[in-house]
C-alpha cells in the first residue's frame, strides 16, 4: 500500500509547484521582451517543461526536481536583474 504524503511533503510540493510556475511566467515575460536571434522557441520550450513539472511535482524524480528548481532560481534572478531589482533576494 502506498504511503500517504506527510503535511511537510505536501507543503514542499506546493511551494516547489509555485516556484516553477512563477519562474515559467517570468521566463515568458523575459522571452517576449527579448525575442531575438531565434532564441524564443527554445525559451518557450523551457517554460513548457517548468509548467508540466509543476503539474506533477510530487511525481518528479528528486534529482530532476532539484535541477528544475535551480533553473527556476536562475530565471527569477535574471528577471530581477532585468527589472532593476536586487537579484540577491530570495526566490519569488
Per-residue pLDDT reduced to its tens digit, 12-69: 999 999 999 999 998 888 888 777 666 678 888 888 999 999 999 999 999 999 999 9
Using the structure block, give the residue that is written with the C-alpha cell 517570468.
26
Residue 47 φ/ψ, nearest 5 degrees = -60, -45
pTM (predicted TM-score): 0.75
By the 8 A CB rule, do 71 and 34 touch?
no
CA-angle at 13, arms to 6 and 40, nearest 5°: 170
Amino acid at each position: 500500500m502506498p504511503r500517504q504524503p506527510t503535511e511537510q511533503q505536501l507543503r514542499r510540493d506546493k511551494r516547489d509547484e509555485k516556484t516553477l510556475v512563477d519562474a515559467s511566467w517570468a521566463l515568458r515575460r523575459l522571452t517576449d521582451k527579448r525575442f531575438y536571434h531565434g532564441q524564443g522557441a527554445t525559451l518557450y520550450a523551457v517554460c513548457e517543461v517548468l509548467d508540466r513539472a509543476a503539474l506533477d511535482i510530487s511525481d518528479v524524480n528528486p534529482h530532476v526536481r532539484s535541477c528544475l528548481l535551480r533553473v527556476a532560481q536562475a530565471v527569477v534572478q535574471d528577471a530581477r536583474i532585468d527589472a532593476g531589482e536586487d537579484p540577491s533576494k530570495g526566490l519569488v
